[in-house]
């Protein structure tokens, strides 16, 4: 397998038999075929390993790591360390990558000389019905703004340059934020000078499950995220203020929310100069929601 444009897809698995077939199949049927799929079986007790082995017997691009349970962070770092590709694609065992995901992300990350990119995505339920659409920040400017209040990627939808991670010694779980490991990684990458972006296309389906780890650990994730957002804002005030002076006039709902969130943070700290004009054309509902969210975040901290 040639290393040029090789994408290593890292897919941790823990008791995912209900959705694993579709997840694996969505990777193996990508239009970009120069890939390896690293399946990390993190001590599953259901039929997940059997499903992985059946796929592996038919496709030589699959590598299986099979061991006792060590947790998601360990599994991610282990899979990335094993990866032979120039690029790391994340994937989860209950999600679906649309057929052109890897091809379009690879083209975008190389043409724009980025270190990480994601894409817009559908939210789907247990049976695969679409329940929502999430738009992510499209360029570096909007990512810089959005990082102060939200996660700019769906974690399992990203493509990352592996050499950026290795050269900067960036791994999952290297700080105290163990419940928001994805956001902590984006913050570490940003601090190391990573170039961020997202493909302006819907390339992914993110499954929302009532018994998912993110639902079970919701309070811990929110607490970690809130602290990370505050740290990011404190470290990057000058950059954020610069980005706020040149954003496009035409904004979608999400972009209005990200900018409004920053403005509320500034207003509540009596940083009024140049803030009110930014909110001039923002819908009142978004302003009120941003105000209440920022109040809630302050009192929680």
pLDDT, tens digit (0-9, with 9 covering 90-100), for 148-163: 989 999 999 999 999 9
Quick one: what percent of the chain has pLDDT higher than 90? 65
Amino acid 213: pLDDT? 58
List the helix and strand counts (H, then E) for the chain. 12, 9
Amino acid 226: pLDDT? 87
Amino acid 46: pLDDT? 97
Distance CA 260, CA 245 (A): 13
Map residue 71 onto helix, strand or coil.
coil
Rg (CA), the chain: 20
Asked if 24 contacts 51 with a C-beta cutoff of 8 angstroms, the reply is yes
- Confidence grade of residue 21 (pLDDT, cut at 50, 70, 90): very high
What one-character DSSP code corresponds to residue 208?
A: P
- Confidence grade of residue 301 (pLDDT, cut at 50, 70, 90): low
Measured at the alpha carbon of residue 118, what is the angle toward residues 235 and 101, in degrees to the nearest 5?
A: 170
Q: If we measure between CA atoms, which residue out of 173, 195, 187 comes closest to residue 116?
A: 195
| Average of per-residue pLDDT across 162-170 | 96
Q: What is the largest CA-CA distance in the chain?
A: 64
pLDDT, tens digit (0-9, with 9 covering 90-100), for 185-194: 999 999 999 9
Q: If we measure between CA atoms, which residue out of 66, 60, 64, 65 comes closest to residue 35?
A: 60
| Average of per-residue pLDDT across 37-43 | 98
What one-character DSSP code corresponds to residue 194?
A: -
Q: If we measure between CA atoms, which residue out of 13, 16, 10 comes closest to residue 211?
A: 16
* Helix or strand run (H / E) with residue 95: none
Amino acid 246: pLDDT? 80
Alpha helical stretches, state H, the chain: 20-28, 48-56, 72-82, 101-111, 140-146, 162-167, 181-191, 213-216, 218-235, 237-244, 253-267, 284-300
pLDDT at 164 over 70: yes
Asked if 145 contacts 266 with a C-beta cutoff of 8 angstroms, the reply is no
pLDDT, tens digit (0-9, with 9 covering 90-100), for 274-290: 677 778 778 888 888 88
Q: Which of 112-116, 144-148, 247-251 has the highest mean pLDDT?
A: 112-116
Distance CA 116, CA 136 (A): 13
Distance CA 119, CA 158 (A): 8
Is the pTM higher than 0.85? The answer reads yes
Alpha helical stretches, state H, 2-47: 20-28
pLDDT at 99 over 70: yes
pLDDT, tens digit (0-9, with 9 covering 90-100), for 55-76: 999 999 999 999 999 999 999 9
Distance CA 41, CA 183 (A): 23
Phi and psi at residue 25, to the nearest 5°: -60, -35
């Amino acid at each position: 397998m040639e290393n040029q444009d090789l994408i290593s897809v890292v897919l941790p698995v823990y008791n995912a038999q209900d959705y694993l077939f579709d997840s694996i199949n969505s990777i193996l049927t990508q239009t970009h075929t120069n890939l390896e799929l690293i399946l990390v079986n993190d001590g599953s007790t259901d039929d997940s390993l059997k499903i992985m082995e059946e796929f592996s017997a038919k496709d030589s691009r699959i590598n299986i790591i099979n061991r006792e349970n060590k947790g998601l962070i360990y599994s991610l770092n282990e899979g990335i360390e094993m990866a032979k590709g120039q690029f790391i694609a994340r994937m989860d065992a209950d999600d679906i990558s649309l057929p052109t995901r890897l091809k379009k992300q690879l083209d975008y990350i190389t043409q724009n000389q980025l270190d990480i990119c994601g894409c817009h995505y559908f939210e789907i339920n247990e049976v695969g019905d679409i329940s929502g659409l999430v738009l992510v920040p499209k360029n570096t400017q909007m990512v810089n703004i959005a990082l102060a209040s939200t996660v700019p990627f769906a974690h399992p939808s990203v493509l990352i340059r592996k050499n950026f991670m290795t050269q900067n010694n960036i791994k999952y779980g290297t700080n105290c934020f163990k419940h928001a490991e994805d956001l902590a990684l984006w913050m570490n990458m940003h601090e190391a000078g990573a170039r961020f972006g997202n493909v302006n296309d819907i390339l992914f389906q993110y499954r929302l499950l009532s018994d998912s780890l993110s639902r079970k650990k919701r309070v811990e994730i929110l607490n970690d995220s809130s602290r990370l957002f505050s740290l990011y804002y404190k470290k990057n005030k000058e950059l954020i203020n610069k980005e706020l002076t040149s954003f496009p006039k035409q904004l979608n709902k999400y972009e209005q929310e990200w900018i409004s969130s920053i403005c509320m943070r500034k207003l509540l700290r009596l940083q009024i100069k140049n803030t009110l004009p930014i909110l001039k054309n923002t819908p009142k509902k978004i302003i009120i929601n941003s105000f209440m969210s920022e109040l809630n975040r302050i009192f929680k901290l």
